[in-house]
C-alpha cells in the first residue's frame, strides 16, 4: 500500500495570468482514496484538470512538478502524456451526461475505447463486460449494453462510466464531483463502486466533492483547499475529527446536522394558510400514463416551514409547480386561505405565492440586470408607479438578503451561485408573499453557502411571518431547520409529521431507511460530538 | 413507420391542390394571351375573328375556374394536357427535360458535397487557422456573388479567354461543366458554413472531452462522435439545398441554354404555355415534399432520441 503513484510538489497553476493554485504538495499511494474538499471557486476542479495529462490550452503550470510513476506530467511531451489518458489516468466528470455520446449505444462506445487501447477481443468482449456489470450490481447486462446514454438516468450513466474505467484498469482515477448531480441513493451507489474499484484493481482515486458526508465514508485521506492553497492534509479521522485550520472548522460547521430545530414549533403557528385536498397529477405518456402524484394531502400553517423530502422522481417538484400554478392537478384542489386556487391564476394569487428555483441564474432573464428583473415584479404586482420609489425598494430588498445594492446592476451570470440565489429570494419576497416555495434552492451550492441561505430563510420567516415549503432530497438539511417534514415516495405521501417525531420515532419503513442513510452521512459528526 | 410515410404522402394531396390552384389562378389573372402569342409565333395575322375562333378551339373561352376543374379532371386520369405552343403532350416534354435537370442537379450537388465536406470539417477542427480563414473567405464570397454574375464571369474566363468550354451547353457532356460549377460554388459555400458550424458545435460538447479522457483515438472521435452527431443538422441543409438547386437552375439553365426544366419553364412562361407551367409546378412540388420526407426519415434513423415513427 505504501508504493507512491502520484507525487505533487510545489504545484502552482494559473489560467492565463490569473493564479488559481499555489504551492500544492501531496502524495498519493497505491490503492488510496483521496478526498479533496473546499468551497466552489477554491481551485479543486482546477487541480484535477492540472493532474490530467490532457489539459485545456489556457491552463498553465507555472511551477512545481507532478510525478506520475516517474514521469513528470508538468512538462511532459504532449503526445506522450496523452497516451496516459484512459489506461494510466482516468477521469470521471461532474456532469454524468458528459462521459458518453448520448445517441450511440454503450456497446459501440465501449468497443471503440477498448480498441483505442488495443484491448478489444471480439470473443471475450461481451462476457468480460457482463462480468464487470455483475460485479458492480448493474442489472440487465446485455440490454444495458445495447441501450443509449440518453435513455438512462444520470446515476446509471455515471456507474456505467465507472464500469468502463474498471475495464481499462487505470492506475489513477480522477473524479470531479461525480455525485453532485445525483440524488442521495444514486450517490451512495457511486461511492460503493469506488470502493469496489479499489478492491478489484488497486487503483488510486482522487475524489473532488463538496459532500463531506459521503466522502467521510470512503476516503482514506482528505485535503482541504482554501483559495488555491492546501490548508490541511491528513487522514479522514484527523482532518474531520480534530481539524486544525480554522477554514476546515467553518467548512465542517456548515454541514447540516441531524437534529431538531431550536425554534419552538407551536410558537407563532396558528391558522392554516394552504391546504391540498387529495391532489393527483397524471402525465400522459404514449404507452401508459405516468402518475407523478397520487392523492397527496397537506396543510401549511402561517409562519410554518415545511420540508418536503424525497428521491428524484418522487414528485417533489410537481407538487411545488402545482401550488405555484405552473401545472394544474388532474384531480383534487389547492386551497389557499379557504379559497380554491383556479387553474388560471389571478393577480392576487401571484402576490400570495412566490417560488424560488434550483438554478437561480436560469430563473433570471440573462439579458436583463437583476435590477430590471426585480423592477418588473415591483411594477406589475406592487403598484409602485414611480421609478425612484422602486429603486429605493430594490436597494432595501438587496440589503435584506445581505447583498450590496450595487450588485443589482449586474447581470445574473456575473454573480456567484449563492449571490444569485439571494437575488432570486429578494425578488420573490419583494411583493411580501404569504407563502414561499423553495425548489432545491441550495442543491447546486456548496455547504458553507448553503448554510448562509438557510440562515437567511430563517431570518426572513421570523421577520415577515410568511410560510415556506422547502423541497430537498437532503433529509439532514431539512431536519436542521424545518418545523414539519413530509416524506414523498413515488408520488405518494409516506409520512408527514413534526420534525421531532420524524427524527425520533419514524413510523414508516421508507422514512427509517432515509434516516439511516442520512445518519451514515452525518455519522462522522455525530461520532465526534 | 409505414403509417408515418403514408400519412406524409397523403399530405401531398392538399399541397398539390393548393399549389396548382394558385399557379393556375395567377397565370390566368396575369396579362398576356396564349392564343395571340401562339398565332404571332406561327406568323399568322391576328384578326379578332381568328383570335376568338382559336380561343374556342383551345377551350380558352371558358372561365379559368372551369378550365382548372377540367385540368384537374384530366390530371386524375393521368393526363397532364398538351402544350399550347406545339400540341405535344406535356408529360413527354417534362420527362425529357427532367432528365437534363436531374443530371445537372446531381452533378452540382455531388461537386458541392466534395468541396464542402472536407473544407467544412477541416475548418471546424482547425478553427481560426490560416486555412480556416481562407475557407471562411470562400464562404463569404460564395454567399455574396449572385449565380448569374458568377455564370458570366465563368463564361468570360473559360469560354472567351481560355476557350476550353463551349458557351452554349446544349446538353453535351462538355457543356455540363460550366453550369455545374456555377450551381455548385454558391451551394458549396453554404454547405461548408453549415458543416463547419455543426462540427464546431459538436467539438465543444462534453462527451467529446469524455471520449478524449478515455483515451479514444482521434479518428474514432472525429468519425463516430463529431461527424456522426453533426450529420443530423447537416442533413437538413443538404436536403433543402437540393430544392434550391432545382429552383436555382432556372436562371443558370437559361444562361447556358441547358435543355432542362428551368429553360423549358422560362420559355413556356414567355409563350404563355400554361399547361407546361402547370406540369412543372406539379413536378417540383412533388419533388420538394418527397425530399423533405426523406430528410425527416433519415433524422429518425440518425437520432434515436426522436420518438419512433
Question: What DSSP element (H or E) covers A205?
Answer: strand A204-208
- Residue A251, classed as helix, strand or coil, is helix
| Residue A54 and residue A184 in one domain | yes
Q: Whole-angstrom distance between the N-terminal and C-terminal Cα of chain B?
A: 5
Say which residue the cell 477542427 belongs to. B125
Residue A495 falls inside a structural domain: yes
| Residue A97 and residue A181 in one domain | yes
**Closest partner residue to A101 among B207, B215, B302, by Cβ?**
B207
The count of domains in chain A is: 2
| Residue A247 and residue A288 in one domain | no
If one compares B171 and A130, the residue with the highest pLDDT of the two is A130
| Residue A204 and residue A292 in one domain | no
Question: B121 CB contacts (<8 Å, ≥6 apart)?
Answer: B195, B196, B199, B222, B227
Nearest-CA residue of chain A relative to B219?
Answer: A116
Residue A112 falls inside a structural domain: yes
Q: What is the DSSP letter of B223?
A: I
Of A254, A282, A308, the domain-final residue? A254
| Residue A285 and residue A140 in one domain | no
Per CB-CB distance under 8 Å, the chain A contacts of B214 are 85-86, 90, 99, 113, 116, 164-165, 168
| Residue A457 and residue A493 in one domain | yes
Residue A414 falls inside a structural domain: no
**Closest partner residue to B224 among A97, A112, A117, by Cβ?**
A112
Residue A356 falls inside a structural domain: no
| Residue A249 and residue A283 in one domain | no
**Closest partner residue to A87 among B215, B217, B307, by Cβ?**
B215
* Spatial distance between the Cα atoms of A365 and A354, rounded to a whole number of angstroms: 17
**Closest partner residue to B304 among A103, A113, A164, by Cβ?**
A103
- Mutation target for B interface from A51, A79, A95, A109: give the one with most B CBs within 10 A: A109
Residue A21 falls inside a structural domain: yes
| Residue A123 and residue A211 in one domain | yes
Contact B224 A104 (CB under 8 A): yes
Of A225, A254, A283, the domain-final residue? A254
Of A207, A225, A254, the domain-final residue? A254
Question: What DSSP element (H or E) covers A48?
Answer: helix A44-51
- Residue of B141, B161, B143, B153 lying closest to B178 (CA atoms): B153
Residue A386 falls inside a structural domain: no
State how far residue B300 is from chain A, nearest Cα, in angstroms.
Answer: 11
| Residue A198 and residue A236 in one domain | yes
Identify whether the C-beta of residue B285 lies closer than 8 Å to the C-beta of residue B11. Answer: no
Nearest-CA residue of chain B relative to A152?
Answer: B305
Q: Whole-angstrom distance between the N-terminal and C-terminal Cα of chain A?
A: 32
How many Cα atoms are found within 13 Å in the side-chain-facing hemisphere of B22? 9
Q: What is the DSSP letter of B307?
A: P
> What sections of A169-255 are H helices per DSSP?
184-201, 212-218, 236, 246-253
Q: How many CB atoms lie within 10 A of CB B143?
A: 12
**Structural domain range at position A173:** 4-254
CATH number of the domain where residue A221 is located: 3.40.50.300
This prediction's pTM: 0.69
Q: What is the DSSP letter of A506?
A: -
State how far residue A40 is from chain B, nearest Cα, in angstroms.
Answer: 20
Q: Grid coordinates standing for B8?
A: 406524409
**Domains defined for chain B, CATH in brackets:** 2-76 (no CATH), 90-302 (1.10.3720.10)
Q: What is the pLDDT of residue A528?
A: 33
| Residue A279 and residue A143 in one domain | no
Identify whether the C-beta of residue A8 lies closer than 8 Å to the C-beta of residue A25. Answer: yes
Nearest-CA residue of chain A relative to B227?
Answer: A101
Please indicate if any CB of chain B lies within 8 Å of the CB of A59: no
Residue A390 falls inside a structural domain: no
Strands A204-208 and A272-283: unpaired
Residue A230 falls inside a structural domain: yes
Per-residue pLDDT of chain A (529 residues; tens, 9 = 90+): 468 888 988 988 888 777 888 888 999 998 899 999 887 777 888 888 888 888 777 788 888 888 888 888 887 777 777 788 888 888 888 777 778 888 888 999 999 999 988 888 888 888 888 888 887 777 777 888 888 888 777 777 888 888 888 788 888 999 888 877 666 777 777 788 888 888 888 889 999 887 787 788 888 899 998 888 888 898 888 888 888 888 888 888 877 766 555 554 445 556 788 888 888 888 776 566 778 888 888 888 888 899 998 877 778 888 888 888 888 888 888 888 888 887 788 888 888 899 998 888 888 988 899 999 899 888 888 888 888 989 999 999 998 888 888 888 888 888 877 888 889 999 998 888 899 999 888 877 777 788 888 888 888 888 888 999 999 888 888 888 888 899 988 888 888 888 888 888 888 888 888 887 776 555 443 333 3
| Residue A110 and residue A10 in one domain | yes
Q: How many CB atoms lie within 10 A of CB A184?
A: 22
- Mutation target for A interface from B202, B209, B212, B215: give the one with most A CBs within 10 A: B215
Contact A85 B213 (CB under 8 A): yes
| Residue A167 and residue A307 in one domain | no
Please indicate if any CB of chain B lies within 8 Å of the CB of A83: yes
Amino acid at each position: 500500500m505504501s508504493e507512491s503513484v502520484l507525487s505533487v510538489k510545489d504545484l502552482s497553476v494559473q489560467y492565463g495570468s490569473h493564479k488559481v493554485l499555489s504551492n500544492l504538495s501531496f502524495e498519493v499511494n497505491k490503492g488510496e482514496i483521496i478526498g479533496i474538499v473546499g468551497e466552489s471557486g477554491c481551485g479543486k476542479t482546477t487541480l484535477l484538470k492540472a493532474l490530467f495529462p490532457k489539459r485545456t490550452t489556457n491552463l498553465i503550470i507555472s511551477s512545481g512538478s507532478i510525478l506520475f510513476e516517474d514521469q513528470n506530467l508538468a512538462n511532459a511531451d504532449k503526445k506522450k502524456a496523452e497516451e496516459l489518458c484512459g489506461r494510466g489516468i482516468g477521469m470521471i466528470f461532474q456532469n454524468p451526461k458528459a462521459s458518453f455520446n448520448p445517441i450511440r449505444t454503450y456497446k459501440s462506445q465501449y468497443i471503440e475505447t477498448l480498441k483505442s487501447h488495443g484491448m478489444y477481443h471480439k470473443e471475450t468482449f461481451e462476457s468480460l463486460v457482463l462480468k464487470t456489470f455483475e460485479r458492480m450490481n448493474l442489472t440487465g447486462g446485455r440490454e444495458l449494453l445495447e441501450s443509449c446514454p440518453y435513455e438512462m438516468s444520470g446515476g446509471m450513466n455515471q456507474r456505467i462510466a465507472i464500469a468502463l474505467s474498471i475495464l481499462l484498469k487505470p492506475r489513477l482515477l480522477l473524479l470531479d464531483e461525480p455525485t453532485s448531480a445525483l440524488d442521495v441513493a444514486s450517490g451512495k451507489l457511486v461511492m460503493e463502486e469506488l470502493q469496489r474499484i479499489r478492491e478489484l484493481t488497486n487503483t488510486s482515486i482522487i475524489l473532488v466533492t463538496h459532500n463531506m458526508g459521503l466522502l467521510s465514508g470512503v476516503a482514506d485521506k482528505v485535503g482541504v483547499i482554501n483559495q488555491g492553497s492546501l490548508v490541511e492534509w491528513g487522514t479522514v479521522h484527523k482532518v474531520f475529527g480534530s481539524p486544525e485550520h480554522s477554514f476546515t472548522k467553518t467548512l465542517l460547521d456548515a454541514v447540516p446536522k441531524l437534529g431538531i430545530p431550536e425554534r419552538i414549533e407551536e410558537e407563532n403557528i396558528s391558522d392554516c394558510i394552504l391546504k391540498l385536498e387529495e391532489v393527483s397529477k397524471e402525465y400522459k405518456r404514449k404507452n401508459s400514463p405516468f402518475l407523478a402524484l397520487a392523492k397527496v394531502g397537506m396543510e401549511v400553517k402561517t409562519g410554518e416551514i415545511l420540508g418536503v423530502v424525497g428521491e428524484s422522481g418522487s414528485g417533489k417538484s410537481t407538487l411545488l409547480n402545482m401550488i405555484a400554478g405552473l401545472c394544474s392537478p388532474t384531480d383534487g384542489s389547492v386551497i389557499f386561505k379557504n379559497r380554491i386556487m383556479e387553474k388560471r391564476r389571478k393577480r392576487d394569487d401571484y402576490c400570495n405565492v412566490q417560488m424560488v428555483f434550483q438554478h437561480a441564474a436560469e430563473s433570471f432573464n440573462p439579458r436583463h440586470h437583476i435590477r430590471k428583473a426585480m423592477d418588473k415584479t415591483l411594477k406589475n404586482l406592487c403598484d409602485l408607479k414611480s421609478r425612484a420609489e422602486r429603486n429605493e425598494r430594490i436597494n432595501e430588498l438587496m440589503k435584506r438578503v445581505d447583498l450590496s445594492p450595487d450588485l443589482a446592476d449586474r447581470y445574473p451570470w456575473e454573480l456567484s451561485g449563492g449571490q444569485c440565489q439571494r437575488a432570486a429570494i429578494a425578488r420573490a419576497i419583494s411583493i411580501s408573499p404569504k407563502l414561499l416555495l423553495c425548489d432545491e434552492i441550495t442543491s447546486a451550492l456548496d455547504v458553507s453557502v448553503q448554510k448562509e441561505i438557510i440562515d437567511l430563510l430563517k431570518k426572513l420567516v421570523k421577520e415577515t411571518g410568511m410560510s415556506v415549503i422547502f423541497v430537498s432530497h437532503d433529509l439532514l438539511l431539512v431536519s436542521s431547520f424545518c418545523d414539519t417534514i413530509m416524506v414523498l415516495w413515488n408520488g405518494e405521501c409516506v409520512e408527514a409529521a413534526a420534525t421531532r417525531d420524524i427524527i425520533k420515532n419514524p413510523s414508516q419503513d421508507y422514512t427509517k431507511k432515509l434516516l439511516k442513510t442520512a445518519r451514515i452521512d452525518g455519522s462522522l459528526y455525530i461520532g465526534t460530538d | 413507420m409505414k403509417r408515418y410515410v403514408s400519412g406524409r404522402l397523403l399530405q401531398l394531396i392538399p399541397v398539390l391542390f393548393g399549389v396548382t390552384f394558385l399557379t393556375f389562378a395567377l397565370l390566368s389573372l396575369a396579362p398576356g394571351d396564349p392564343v395571340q402569342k401562339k398565332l404571332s409565333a406561327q406568323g399568322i395575322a391576328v384578326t379578332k375573328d381568328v383570335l376568338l375562333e382559336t380561343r374556342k378551339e383551345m377551350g380558352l373561352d371558358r372561365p379559368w375556374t372551369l378550365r382548372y376543374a377540367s385540368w384537374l379532371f384530366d390530371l386524375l386520369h393521368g393526363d397532364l394536357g398538351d402544350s399550347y405552343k406545339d400540341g405535344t403532350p406535356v408529360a413527354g416534354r417534362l420527362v425529357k427535360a427532367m432528365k437534363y435537370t436531374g443530371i445537372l442537379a446531381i452533378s452540382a450537388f455531388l461537386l458541392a458535397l466534395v468541396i464542402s465536406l472536407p473544407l467544412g470539417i477541416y475548418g471546424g477542427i482547425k478553427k481560426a487557422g490560416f486555412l480556416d480563414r481562407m475557407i471562411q473567405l470562400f464562404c463569404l464570397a460564395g454567399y455574396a456573388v449572385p449565380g448569374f454574375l458568377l455564370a458570366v464571369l465563368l463564361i468570360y474566363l473559360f469560354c472567351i479567354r481560355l476557350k476550353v468550354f463551349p458557351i452554349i451547353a446544349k446538353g453535351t457532356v462538355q457543356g455540363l461543366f460550366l453550369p455545374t460549377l456555377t450551381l455548385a460554388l454558391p451551394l458549396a459555400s453554404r454547405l461548408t458554413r453549415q458543416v463547419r458550424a455543426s462540427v464546431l458545435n459538436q467539438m465543444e460538447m462534453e462527451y467529446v472531452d469524455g471520449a478524449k479522457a478515455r483515451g479514444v483515438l482521434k479518428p474514432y472521435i472525429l468519425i463516430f462522435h463529431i461527424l456522426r452527431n453533426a450529420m443530423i443538422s447537416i442533413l437538413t441543409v443538404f436536403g433543402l439545398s437540393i430544392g434550391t438547386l432545382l429552383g436555382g437552375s432556372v436562371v443558370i439553365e437559361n444562361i447556358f441554354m441547358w435543355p432542362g426544366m428551368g429553360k423549358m419553364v422560362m420559355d413556356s412562361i414567355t409563350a404563355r404555355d400554361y399547361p407546361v407551367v402547370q406540369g412543372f409546378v406539379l413536378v417540383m412540388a412533388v419533388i420538394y415534399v418527397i425530399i423533405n420526407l426523406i430528410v425527416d426519415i433519415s433524422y429518425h434513423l440518425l437520432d434515436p432520441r426522436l420518438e419512433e415513427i
